[in-house]
Amino acid sequence: MSTNTLQYKVGLTVLRAEHMGMCFGVRDAITLAKREVDSRPLTVLGELVHNDTVLNDLRGRGVQFESQPDKVETEAVMITAHGASDRAKGRAEESGLKLMDATCPLVHHAHKQLRQLVKDGYPPVVLGRRGHVEVRGRTEDLAECDVVLSEEDIDALAPRQKYGVVAQSTQPIARVHEFVGYLENRFPAAEVRFVDTVCQPTKQRQSAAVELAKRSDVVLVVGGVNSNNTHELARTCREFCDEVHHVQGPGDVRSEWLPASGTLGITAGTSTPDILIDAVEDRVHQLSGGLRETSPEAQPAMA
Ligand code: SF4
């Protein structure tokens, strides 16, 4: 078993998922934003990361956030790890903005895969959340593209001879395979070409969450309320554990959730910083009579 285990003196065992928390794509984008804002005013286009603790820290350093390029007041703007369409980047450059691109290399790769499918003559279908910034970035440059996230969405697709399918990078891979199978059954005469664009960090976090949930009486999933992949992790954990709580920080942890004896698992979404995960674990420790003392109200300081 690969989870990290800690035995508490009151009989509560805490497990940490083997893979959890911030992925390299988000971490690199945050590092870039911190470095840049030290030398010049900087605006991030959209949400850099779906986590208020991280965003508040960046705001404190002077980073501005804006979703509309025409409202940006600094010369330098940053594209987030989720990426953006060429059209959106072009619009920003035309309005005189200097672009810094922090798009995750795995998102770049996914853009390339989708373009290749279109070039090869496969009408594109993205398995993902319509309106999510990563999905918008991938689809805005295409003349047409279907975005589906349910069997009903697939039922509603126009019948075609071919479909070229990719997934949003943070979708659970098991569900993606189910949808591809459903699409193949729904249109048995069609040729379905599927390219797996779910990123490796997401797959690792999902499979580690399954392992964790199978062994836990209670699971805490740490992450921002707007974080899609945190919601997905919580949903996956609920398939294997009856009691799963999504918490944004240590202040959300409730003593009545903690079993007097048994196992509590902790995992976290790809936008959750380590310091927040540690603070949640400290709070569990404190509430269960452990040795470390951490105030739940204390906002963790960011590195
Ligand atoms: S979730 Fe995956 S694709 Fe998205 S930024 Fe992180 S590593 Fe990159």
Question: 270-297 pLDDT, tens per residue?
Answer: 989 999 999 999 999 898 876 443 333 3
Residue intervals of the chain classified under CATH 3.40.1010.20 are 4-22+200-287, 106-194
Q: What is the pLDDT of residue 268?
A: 96
Is 263 a residue whose pLDDT tops 80?
Answer: yes
3-state secondary structure of 19: coil
Q: How far is the CA of 277 from the centre of ligand 1 (A)?
A: 19
Decide if pLDDT at 298 tops 70.
no
Kindly give the pairing relationship between strand 124-127 and strand 98-101.
unpaired
Domain with CATH 3.40.50.11270 in the chain: 24-104
Residues with CB under 6 Å of ligand 1 are: 23-26, 81, 104, 106-107, 169-170, 199, 201-202, 270
pLDDT in tens, 213-244: 999 999 999 998 888 889 989 999 999 999 99
Average pLDDT over residues 135-142: 95
CA distances from 288 to 112, 122, 222, 249, 255 (A): 49, 56, 18, 17, 7
Higher pLDDT: 17 or 133? It is 17
What's 24-104's CATH class?
A: alpha beta
Distance of CA 204 to the CA centre of its chain: 13
Higher pLDDT, 223 or 6: 223
Task: Show the CA angle centred on residue 141, arms to residues 66 and 70, nearest 5°.
Answer: 25
CATH class given for the domain over 4-22+200-287? alpha beta
Residue 262, phi-psi category: left (phi > 0), alpha (psi -120 to 50), beta (remainder): left
Fold of 106-194: Cobalt-precorrin-4 Transmethylase; domain 1 (3.40.1010)
Averaged pLDDT score across all residues of the chain: 90
Q: How far is CA 254 from the centre of its chain?
A: 25
The whole model's pTM is what? 0.86
- Residue 134 annotated as catalytic: yes
Distance CA(156)–CA(237), nearest Å, equals 30
What does DSSP say about strands 4-7 and 12-16: parallel, antiparallel, or unpaired? Answer: antiparallel
pLDDT at 15 (0 to 100): 95
Q: Where are the alpha helices (DSSP H) in 95-186?
A: 105-119, 133-139, 151-155, 173-186
Residue whose CA lies nearest to ligand 1 atom number 5: 25
